[in-house]
Chain A
Amino acid sequence: MKKTKITVAVSGLNNTDNPGPGIPVIRALRESDFYDVKIIGLAYENLEPGIYMHEWVDKTYQVPYPSSGSEKLLQRLEYINSIENIDVLIPNFDAELYSFITNSERLKNIGISTFLPTLKQFEERHKANLPEYGKKYDVLVPHSRPINSLSEIYTLTPEFTYPLLVKGKFYDAFVAFNPEQVAQHFNKLVSKWGLPIIIQEFIRGTEVNVIALGDGKGNTIGAVPMRKTYITDKGKAWGGITLDDEEMLRLTTSIIKQTKWRGGMELELIKTNENKYYLVEINPRIPAWVYLAVGAGQNLPEALVKLALGKKVKPFTSYESGKMFIRYSWDMIVNLNEFEKLSTTGEL
């Protein structure tokens, strides 16, 4: 079968010990049976490893942080598009999603397709809204409350018992055993991610995750459950194994059906010893461990690109359980002139 040539822009090239999903997404697209992809990398930092991985990324452009304003980011993207003719954009950072969701029409008008959740879907699954989310969609969630000041720390008991979790708005979570530790984590998280800080009940159990893709009409195109088998000190999966867990799949399809979720997502769940599943977070994008799903039989990034381009996609009906991924690190040797070129021209 002749493959269709397309150009896909991908962010999240930070293939570090806290990896972005960019490189695994690209790897999945390179294995597509339908598309011959040209990959345009979008990088925020000049040391994101993906920039220098030329076998995966054809050309990289530096882009301004979303915190410097959506307009700047979009103008840069318009410039990149004038050279590269991007067909599909797959953003992989939570922090940039708002800009791309709210400007998806503007992107569409210059020929760039996306397949992102709606603003309503994106907003209502925020960590701060999790209790309402659980109630609305009949999902068990740990009790949580957003706080906006240090003084609120001393009002947490008896509503919460220690230990509890202190979570940042976008990323990071710490266990705290007393108010002093909460204050410490509060300050750290505020300076990194801003307010609010989320205080969450600590549920004992095993952390399990599901990667899924919703078609925006209530159908689940694919879903693969996984348990982390090796976790870094940042809480990131460095190894994992696919599970045969019907309850996790039921929960996923139920959430996608009710919310009509559009795009990639990751459900973070805690499975207790009583076999109850608590939803602790919904990440509104493809997670960094996406290649495990590809290895288990579901090329979800390829399906997402098809959906973005308006193609019909048949839902996956199976995957292989017991498939493992084990990450590793690799030292690339990079010539200074490459770093220089990216740093001075913003392109490589």
Chain B
Amino acid sequence: MKLKKKLAISDTGFVFDPHSGESFSLNETGTEILNMLKEGKSQEEIMTHFLENYEVDNDTFERAYMDFIAMLKFYNISEENEKD
């Protein structure tokens, strides 16, 4: 999934979308995933990273990850919904 190009993500997990003016607060896990997505990492790469570095099993992470992605789409943070 591609994120909007101009999305600003701070170290604190504060996310600002300058196109819509909306802002969001993420926890550490959300911030890490969003930063990896911004770097262009694939779902597989992100999953591997989390499974290797955190105590989480494949199914639990995948479920949480898909839920998170759906939320990004819902809030128009992904590029799919962006016009320009």
Interface, chain A (partner B; CB < 8 A): 206, 226-227, 229, 241-247, 275, 321-322
Q: Is the CB of A243 within 8 A of B84?
A: no
Q: Which of B16-24, B27-35, B52-60, B62-70 contacts A (4 or more CB under 8 A)?
A: B16-24
- How near does chain A come to B32, taking the closest CB pair, in angstroms? 23
**Max chain A CB contacts within 10 Å: which of B8, B16, B19?**
B19
Q: How far apart are the CA atoms of A245 and B83 in the complex, in Å?
A: 10
Complex alpha-carbon distance, A227 and B6, angstroms: 17
5 contacts between A and B (CB under 8 A): A206-B20, A226-B21, A227-B21, A244-B6, A275-B83
> In the assembled complex, how far is the CB of residue A210 from the closest CB belonging to chain B, in whole angstroms?
13
Indicate if B79 sits at the interface (CB-CB under 8 A).
Answer: no
Q: Bound state CA distance, A200 and B76, in angstroms?
A: 28
Chain A contacts for B83, CB-based, 8 A: 247, 275
Judge whether B82 is part of the interface by a CB distance below 8 angstroms.
yes
Does B8 contact A243, Cβ atoms closer than 8 Å?
A: no
Name the B residues within 8 Å of A322 (CB-CB). 8, 16, 18, 21
Task: Give the size of the chain B interface in residues (CB under 8 angstroms).
Answer: 11
Interface residue SS majority, chain A: mixed
Q: How far is the CA of A245 from the CA of B18 in the complex (A)?
A: 8
A20 to B18, CA, bound (A): 27
Q: Is the CB of A243 within 8 A of B20?
A: yes
Report the minimum CB–CB distance from B25 to chain A (whole Å). 15
Q: Which of A226, A247, A321 has the most C-beta atoms of chain B within 10 angstroms of its own C-beta?
A: A321
Give min CB distance, A140 to chain B, whole Å: 13
B81 at the interface (CB under 8 A from A): yes
A243 and B81 within 8 A (CB): no
The 6 closest A-B pairs by CB, nearest first: A244-B18, A227-B21, A275-B83, A321-B18, A241-B21, A246-B84
Chain A proximity of B19: nearest CB distance (Å): 6
Q: Are A275 and B81 in contact (CB under 8 A)?
A: yes
A243 in contact with B16 given A275-B81, A275-B82 (CB within 8 Å): no
Min CB–CB distance A178 → chain B (angstroms) = 32
Please, which residues of chain A bring their CB within 8 A of the CB of B81? 275
A245–B16 contact, CB under 8 A? Answer: no
Closest to A240 in B: B21
Closest to A246 in B: B84
A246 cross-chain contacts in B, Cβ below 8 A:
84
Output the least CB separation between A237 and chain B (Å): 12
The chain A residue with its CB closest to the CB of B82 is A275
Task: Report Cα–Cα, A117/B20, bound state, in Å.
Answer: 30
